[in-house]
Chain A
Amino acid sequence: MPEMSFATELLLFLEVLINGLLSGIMYSLVALGFVLIFKASGIFNFAQGAFVLFAALTFVSFLEAAIMGAENSGLLYFVACFMLTLVVMAAYGVAVERIVLRPLVNQPLIILFMATIGLNFFTEGFAQLIWGTEVHRLDLGIPDEPMGWLLDKTNMYITAFDVVAAAVAAGLVLALSLFFSKTRTGRALRAVSDDHQAAMSVGIPLQHIWAITWGVAGAIGLIAGILWGAKLGVHFSLALLALKALPVLIIGGFDSIAGAIVGGLIIGASEKLAEFYLSGIIGGALENWFPYILATLFLLIRPQGLFGEKIIERV
């Protein structure tokens, strides 16, 4: 690298950092879906990535079908397709709850986790069967190019799209936090996550709650799918995002919404920074494993994550 002034170095660092944070927000979006289901049912839904994919594909199909029949695609079509996809995702969630989860209600959590792995395979195969493996373009009307004024002033490459995605994620986090702490349903969800039996014994309808949970998780998956799909194109590799969300969950804690955001930011930033500064020394494609090693080191120091609940075993 040629000699650079300190100011330029700092700006470069900031650019990488901000881009990392913004991409981290995107990871957080996927992680939020995991957290929601884990908070409400104690199940780690490995199939969340496949859900994101499925939601994105459904949405894109509706959009493509709607646009074909009309002359101008507008906000109305967008919203309509969004709602329609929400319904589909909610229905899928309910189906999952009824067919997969209900029969496994009393099994140890590891069995439920493995069932979601099976669900993941099923959803992937199903999605690919219906939609094939070509990439579908998804245009949200927000340019994914570096913002001109920022580029001119500070020479930093940051796109408007990333900023919008961050704003959406922030809004979602706020909404979910309020939902969990202020509304009755939110409290019921938290009760169910703590102890199924106890929740049932105070009259909380378990099946309804789970249906709501999976529906909302599907909705979050849809939003994440739309944003990621717009950025990368809707393709089955979206499902692999689920694997990236795991280190996020470890650092943030499996049951914390704030943790999903903070964890995502940390992973996104550290990933981009490591790639930028270290790839010269040890080779590229660090991002495949760096988040995991970071998460592992984190776990060794704080096994419950930043915001997770400490597990005390009683003997």
Chain B
Amino acid sequence: MSEGRKFGEVILSAREISLSFGAVQALTDVSVDVREHEILAIIGPNGAGKTSLLNCINGVYHPQQGAILFEGVPRLNADPAKIARQGIARTFQNVALFKGMSTLDNIMTGRNTKIRSNIFWQALYLGSYLKEELEHRRAVEEIIDFLEIQAIRKTPVGRLPYGMQKRVELGRALAAQPRILVLDEPMAGMNVEEKEDMSRFILDVNDEFGTTIVLIEHDMGVVMDISDRVVVLDYGRKIGDGSPDEVRAEPAVIEAYLGVSA
């Protein structure tokens, strides 16, 4: 997948991240570079620290050691909302949709970083705010078309099947027009057709908008197919970093997944 694709400079960089929760060491000395426009997959056995790494990127967890640099500038304090506004969007392992709202409203919340009018205009629902709201609605409808979820537009998301919820969550992340899209197991619990759809969406987003993609994924077929580079974690440490073929042949990686005969 990586032949002939042009990547940009390193846009996000995690340097020697160490994260612990009390006695549990989630990450130890993990360094990952993310190049613009690439699709980076993070793989590893359960409990390897993949989600924790993503949470550090988004500012949900604060690593005790190490630094995260965005466009070469180190982060001074991790404020998730500020990080989101820099252009990093996220989906979650356990679908973090807002269960009290419809699909449309959920995706509209993704546009929140772009709202400019203050609440006085919002209360009046006229003039400059109305124009803005309709603009955002139009943008969201395009995403809904792209993800083919028109039929469930007004459905409360709590009632949707799991696969649809994941798609809506992707839509919410896309609504922010992010530079980096961070996906935590976007294909979990899906059947073959749904996985193909999701892969297609991810590739289209990367192709059309040049969005950098960082994803955690367990399905090796998907990982090998769509990713440009793969990072492997095991017990909180990085044990592999390179193209899919390189990583697949790495002995440490094979040992982590399959074990070594005694």
Contacts and interface: CB of A to CB of B under 8 A. Distances in A.
A and B touch in the complex (CB under 8 A): yes
A312 B55 CA distance: 13
Contacts of A315: 55, 60, 92-94, 96
User: Which 5 A-B pairs give the minimum distances between C-beta atoms?
Assistant: A315-B92, A315-B60, A315-B96, A315-B55, A312-B21
Nearest to A314: B94
Q: Give the contact-size bracket for chain A.
A: under 10
A315 B93 CA distance: 7
A315 B55 CA distance: 8
B246 to A, nearest CB: 31
A298 to B, nearest CB: 22
Interface in A256-312: 312
Interface string B129-154: 00000000000000000000000000
Contacts of A312: 21
7 contacts: A312-B21, A315-B55, A315-B60, A315-B92, A315-B93, A315-B94, A315-B96
Contacts of B96: 315
Interface residues of B, number: 7
A313 to B, nearest CB: 9
B27 to A, nearest CB: 15
Contacts of B60: 315
A105 to B, nearest CB: 20
B170 to A, nearest CB: 16
A315 B60 CA distance: 9
Contacts of B94: 315
Interface in B49-99: 55, 60, 92-94, 96
Nearest to A313: B60
A10 to B, nearest CB: 43
A237 to B, nearest CB: 40
A312 B21 CA distance: 10
Nearest to A312: B21
A315 B94 CA distance: 7
A312 B22 CA distance: 11
B185 to A, nearest CB: 13
A311 B239 CA distance: 32
Nearest to B92: A315
A315 B56 CA distance: 12
A312 B94 CA distance: 16
B212 to A, nearest CB: 21
Nearest to A310: B22
Contacts of B93: 315
A132 to B, nearest CB: 45
Contacts of B92: 315
A315 B182 CA distance: 14
